[in-house]
Amino acid sequence: MTEKKKATANLSADRPPLGARAPSGGSVVRAATSVGVNIALFDLDHTLIPIDSDYAWGEFTIQRGWVDPVAFKRQNDAFYAQYQAGTLDVHDYVRFATEAVCKHGATESIAAHADFMRATVQKAIQPQALELVRQHQQAGDVVAIVTATNEFVTRPIAQAFGVDELIAVELERDGSVGGTGWFTGGIRGVPSFREGKVTRVEQWLKMRGLDWEGVQITFYSDSMNDLPLLERANVAVATNPDARLRALARERGWRILDLFS
């Protein structure tokens, strides 16, 4: 067993005390809590998987011949750079990212996504990430994935992790008279992006008769885009963090977890 896998196998003993901040990279004993509901929230892209699933899906549609390769790649790269810089207009991006899916319809798109899972996603899912999720589940924690990627791309990925609770960008459907009932390219409700993740988690808690005061939330993320929810969680874990988040985590004493080499 490698050193990384040995460390991952003891994640339950290496978790910060609930409601506390662990020293960066430190190992601490999990403290008891009187709160009845412990929740583990995971960002998806570059947190649980070492790829951006939305970007990878775009690349897959190029290979599928669904989009013009030069024009799509140029725009997809531009949107990805905006995401990394924290300047992305999520509505513009979702319209762009779902255009091919809207055009090709449900049957063809769902079949294509199954091929995408086999060709790309399954290869990206690593044992240590599955183990981290599993240990939270075995500890009795409620586990959810909270992602800025849309529900069409991410629902099968969440299922591959054995996670039923998914908070993703919800897509508007054509419910007009004579409409197809398929996606329109618009976003339904609040997008789970930046501050919207806090709003969506709050809505998700309320649907379950819970609120922030009645739960202990651990949130894993790689990105500064998730700073609003990292700050709102009881325990923030900078997971495979980008350079800015790594520096901030060290400054604030948040745990840093590198799942991937």
Residues tagged active-site: 43, 45
In the chain the first and final C-alpha atoms are separated, in Å, by 15
Answer whether 30's CB lies under 8 Å from 12's CB.
yes
C-alpha span between 139 and 223 (Å, rounded): 26
- Residue 16: φ, ψ to 5°: -65, 155
Answer whether 79's CB lies under 8 Å from 93's CB.
yes
- Between CA 148 and CA 6, with CA 130 as vertex, the angle to 5 degrees is 130
Q: Are strands 183-187 and 235-239 parallel, antiparallel or unpaired?
A: unpaired
Identify the CA nearest to 27 among candidates 256, 259, 258: 256
C-alpha span between 83 and 79 (Å, rounded): 6
Answer whether 168's CB lies under 8 Å from 155's CB.
yes
